Amino acid sequence: MQVARVTEIIASSEKNFDDALKVGVARAYKTLKQVSGAWVKDQKVVIDKNKIVEYRVTLKVTFVLED
């Protein structure tokens, strides 16, 4: 039997939401062992002088706990 845990992370990119998602998943994989999935909880943008300057995603990352 496996037990999993879910943690929430926020990642950002100056390019787009897809890049922010890739940045977040890559960072989670680097830090957590046995990452098995993720889903986007929220998306936001930062606007400065009528221009989008940053894309942010809030991710729920699932990873399997070791015995």
Domain boundaries, the chain: 4-64
Q: What's the pLDDT at 43?
A: 98
pLDDT band at 67 (very low <50, low <70, confident <90, very high): confident
Digit-coded pLDDT (tens) for 7-60: 999 999 999 999 999 999 999 999 999 999 999 999 999 999 999 999 999 999
What value, to the nearest 5°, has the Cα angle with vertex 27 and ends 37 and 59?
45
pLDDT of 66 strictly over 90:
no
Which residues make Cβ contacts (< 8 Å) with residue 61, sequence separation at least 6? 6, 7, 8, 9, 24, 25, 28, 32, 35, 37, 38
Domain 4-64 = CATH 3.30.1660.10: yes
